Amino acid sequence: MSGDNASYLPVIILMLAAVGFALAPLTLAWLWARNFSPKKPGQDKNATYECGLESKGDAWIQFKSEYYLYAIIFLIFDVETVFLLPFAVAFTGLSALAFIEMMVFVFMLVAGLVWAWQKGVLTWK
C-alpha cells in the first residue's frame, strides 16, 4: 500500500512546481506594483471599450422579436429535408410502424407550414 502512495509523490511534486511556476511571476509582479508603481486609475483607463472612441447610448436596447418566424420556417424546410433524405434511402426496408411514425413527423411540420401560409408569412411584401 505504501509503495502505491510513493509512486504518486513525483506527480504531486511536479504539480506543486507547476503551480508555483505559474504563481511566482504573478506574485512578483503584484509585489513589484505594490512597492514601486502608484495606482493611477482614470476615466479613460477604466472605460469598457478600447477603440479610442467614447461609447454612446445604452446597452439595454430592444431587438425585434419577429425574427422567430424565420426560425420556424427554417425548421420546417431545413430539418424536414435532413430527415426526409435518410427516410427516402431506407424507404423499401421500413416497417409499417416506422412509416406511420415518419408520416406523423412530416404532418407536424406540414401543419406548421400551413399555419405560416395562413398567417401570410410566405407572401413577399
Residue 37 makes contact with another protein by CB under 8 A:
yes
User: Which one of residues 3, 10, 25, 52 is an interface residue with another protein (CB under 8 A)?
Assistant: 52
User: Which one of residues 10, 25, 42, 120 is an interface residue with another protein (CB under 8 A)?
Assistant: 42
Please report how close the Cβ of residue 29 comes to another protein at its closest, in angstroms: 11
Count interface residues toward another protein (CB under 8 A).
14
CA distance 87 to 28: 64
Alpha carbon of 84 to those of 14, 74, 78, 80: distances in Å?
55, 15, 10, 6
CA distance 120 to 12: 67
Taking CB under 8 A as the criterion, which residues in 4-33 touch another protein? 32
- The contact set with another protein (CB under 8 A) reads 32, 36-38, 40, 42-45, 47, 50, 52-54
